[in-house]
Structure 1
Amino acid sequence: MFGEGNSGKERAAQRPPALAPDRPLVDPFGRAISYLRVSVTDRCDFRCVYCMAEDMTFLPKHEVLSLEEIDRIASAFIRRGTRKLRLTGGEPLVRRGIIDLVNSLARHLKSGALEELTLTSNGSQMARHADALFAAGVRRVNISLDTLDPDKFSRITRWGRLNQVLDGIAAAKAAGLQVKLNAVALAHENADEIEALMHFAAAGDHDLTLIETMPLGEIGEDRVDQYLPLSTVRRRLAQRYTLIDLPHRTGGPARYVRVEELGLQLGFITPLTHNCCESCNRVRLTATGQLYMCLGQDDQADLRSVIRRAGNDDAAPGCAIDAALDQALDEAISRKPKGHDFVIDRRGARPAVARHMSLTGG
């Protein structure tokens, strides 16, 4: 299943019609779960100040899902109605065998069961993998870019080099991938650069999404000091640009405007200034197989135990493993909350949720 895929840049044929799911996953509030984000690794070659501590301790290998286990769980979701699958990390492209996994999951694109297979990256390894991602069927990637200043970039990422990421963005575009840029708004780092990032994105025909810092995991920084409300950013931009609200919705947290003067689609993800959960259609699978029904809640379902317990039974056929996963998914989605409880702790840097974003998946 995890062999080499075809190479080349030919565009895939038009997708087959969508297949009806076995039994759609619907949460207690009537929201169909059609979007799964999978963290394929907690490891990253950066140590971004809003995401990780510099001296991170990563998970031992036996705790991390194998590529086969990731494929099995993702396929169970797809069978139950997931139409969009995003691979995240950590940095997903540092995971050994990641292109094999992408090639394997792409069979669901060919069958019509999956509408989109995407990836979120810091861009550091994109130049190496962009062609292979496109060949497998990926058509869109998100790349993080918080600043265009090399010194600031080194400071924010601690270990990163700006030129490496800019080369990755260029390689993705050359391979035929649509690139959306993500920038975390940081009060004392890039507040004065947001317009420059907008112009860079517009010049490259990229969308740009601004994100408020999220209170996940101890990072060795004070998030109160980092926090820049995007409501303030939007008011400032509206004094200079024409911002047209767009009806475009992905079921996710972003709200979009068109910046008329730049021809730019600009998104705002505001988990702190605006609870954006009413239409949430997504869940997140961690690198260890824990399913989080909400990014801002600690409730989880241990799918790793389910799949390994069923898989260790030599007498259990594949359909028995799938049945065990189906039962676990039904129980987990029945607990999906209406919304998150994110808040910046004004008494200090204590995170609202103890786990790091790199474990949960961005």
Structure 2
Amino acid sequence: MTDRCDFRCRYCMSEKMQFLPRKDLMTLKEIVDLADVFIARGVTRIRLTGGEPLVRRDVVKLIGWLGERLGRGLEELTLTTNGSHLAQYATQIADAGVRRVNVSLDTRDPVKFRHLTRRGELAPVLAGIEAAKRAGLAIKINMVALSGINDDEISDMLRWCDREENDLTLIETMPLGAIDDDRSDHFLPLDEVRRRLVEEFALVPSLARTGGPARYYEAAGLSTRVGFITPLTNNFCDGCNRIRVTATGTVFGCLGHDQSVELRDALRRGGVPEVSALLDRLLAGKPRRHDFRIEHASPAVDRHMSVTGG
């Protein structure tokens, strides 16, 4: 690997971890030790994601420890959250070194929100976004576009993001893990949405890149930059530079494949040399592309997004 690698490591701390025996989880120190291994190999960006990372015990301590690596090989430390705990932690995570958060928000309709999250309330999420803004955090809203559910809200979501000075990324639903609703019923190709928004808001392609799969558009009359993540209509694998580390130390080389190595036990058993050897094997075998097909009856992998990290 080069000295300036753009691999973005994601520590996925799913809500499911609350039900795992603590011995199965990496300790905070082990997470930081792995971060140091990755940084030494050229990783410059770390994102804490899930599930919901803010449910992890002592997560602010972890963010603080990782934040100490900023300027010492690590260039960016970010967080993806569902926003439900953001009001409580916004100031603390900003003080610890986070400068930008992604908030998953598929709708601003309280009834739809409760249906999509199966139990969630919208008000705490909106309060969390406000708290993050007051703390000085840059905010990007991640909205999964769903036909027949929130497709009529996309323009309004963009206008709201513009008023609030939040960026917006639209995401195609991906066939990962078992879910109750049929994905093919709600899959919304984003090329259709993009054409509509280009016409409505006079969007033009942007040269901006964040190191991720989103392709951005902007308009002279908008403060908001609009990103499109299109794993099905426009495969983005040729630009993928990410690996994902779960709360138990499993590392996946691809969102859409089961190719993985186990680093927790390797770290405990053999330390950095054994971890590095496994990473070499993972990266050498990193799949060239995923095989997402929305029309298939079964998902591409049984692993849900909350396990791998979004």
TM range (shorter): over 0.9
1:110-153 deviation digits (Å, cap 9, x = unpaired): x4210010100000000000010011111100001111111111
Checking the alignment, whether the CA contact within 8 Å between 2:259 and 2:282 is kept in structure 1 is: no
Provide the residue aligned with 1:24 in structure 2.
Answer: 2
Query: Post-superposition shift, 1:58?
Result: 4.8
Query: Post-superposition shift, 1:239?
Result: 2.6
Do residues 76 (structure 1) and 37 (structure 2) align?
A: yes
Checking the alignment, whether the CA contact within 8 Å between 1:25 and 1:330 is kept in structure 2 is: no
1:361/1:297 CA distance change after superposition, 3 Å:
same
Query: Post-superposition shift, 1:247?
Result: 1.5
Q: 1:295 aligns with which of 247, 252, 255?
A: 255
Q: Give the Cα separation in 1 of the matches to 2:272 and 2:240.
A: 25
Provide the residue aligned with 2:276 in structure 1.
Answer: 326
Do residues 360 (structure 1) and 293 (structure 2) align?
A: no
Provide the residue aligned with 2:76 in structure 1.
Answer: 116
1:282-325 deviation digits (Å, cap 9, x = unpaired): 11111221111111111111112211223xxxxxxxxxx12222
Do residues 40 (structure 1) and 13 (structure 2) align?
A: yes
Computing the radius of gyration from Cα coordinates, the structure with the larger value is: 1
SS of the aligned residue for 1:78 comes to: helix
Q: 1:223 aligns with which of 173, 183, 189?
A: 183
Q: Give the Cα separation in 2 of the matches to 1:204 and 1:264.
A: 9
Q: 1:168 aligns with which of 116, 123, 128?
A: 128
Uncovered stretches (5+) of structure 1, i.e. residues with no partner: 1-22, 27-31, 45-56, 311-320
Q: Give the Cα separation in 2 of the matches to 1:212 and 1:64.
A: 31
Checking the alignment, whether the CA contact within 8 Å between 1:241 and 1:260 is kept in structure 2 is: no
Provide the residue aligned with 2:96 in structure 1.
Answer: 136
1:252-282 deviation digits (Å, cap 9, x = unpaired): 2100000333232000000011101112111
SS of the aligned residue for 1:240 comes to: helix
SS of the aligned residue for 2:227 comes to: strand
Checking the alignment, whether the CA contact within 8 Å between 1:143 and 1:179 is kept in structure 2 is: yes
Provide the residue aligned with 1:48 in structure 2.
Answer: none
1:318-360 deviation digits (Å, cap 9, x = unpaired): xxx122222221121111122211111x253x21111011110
Decide which moves more: 282-291 or 160-169: 282-291
Q: Give the Cα separation in 1 of the matches to 2:268 and 2:293.
A: 36
Give the fraction of aligned pairs with identical amino acids, expressed as a percent.
49
Q: What RMSD over aligned residues (CA atoms) do the two structures have, in Å?
A: 1.7
1:71-101 deviation digits (Å, cap 9, x = unpaired): 1112110111110000011100011110110
Q: Which amino acid aligns with 1:186?
A: L
1 or 2 for the larger relative contact order (CA 8 Å, sep ≥6)? 1
SS of the aligned residue for 1:264 comes to: coil
Please give the TM-score of this superposition, normalised by the length of structure 1. Answer: 0.82
- The 5-angstrom pairing of residues 54-203 of structure 1 reads 58-109=19-70, 111-203=71-163
SS of the aligned residue for 1:352 comes to: coil
Q: Give the Cα separation in 1 of the matches to 2:85 and 2:15.
A: 16
Provide the residue aligned with 1:208 in structure 2.
Answer: 168
Do residues 263 (structure 1) and 235 (structure 2) align?
A: no
SS of the aligned residue for 1:306 comes to: helix
Provide the residue aligned with 2:209 in structure 1.
Answer: 249
Q: Which amino acid aligns with 1:84?
A: R
Higher helix share: 2
Checking the alignment, whether the CA contact within 8 Å between 2:198 and 2:204 is kept in structure 1 is: no
1:328/1:308 CA distance change after superposition, 3 Å:
same
Number of residue equivalences:
310
Query: Post-superposition shift, 1:221?
Result: 1.7
Please give the TM-score of this superposition, normalised by the length of structure 2. Answer: 0.95
Query: Post-superposition shift, 1:24?
Result: 3.3
Checking the alignment, whether the CA contact within 8 Å between 1:296 and 1:353 is kept in structure 2 is: yes
Checking the alignment, whether the CA contact within 8 Å between 2:6 and 2:45 is kept in structure 1 is: no
Provide the residue aligned with 1:341 in structure 2.
Answer: 291
1:218/1:112 CA distance change after superposition, 3 Å:
same
1:149-191 deviation digits (Å, cap 9, x = unpaired): 1111111111111111000000000011111111010112100
Checking the alignment, whether the CA contact within 8 Å between 1:33 and 1:283 is kept in structure 2 is: no
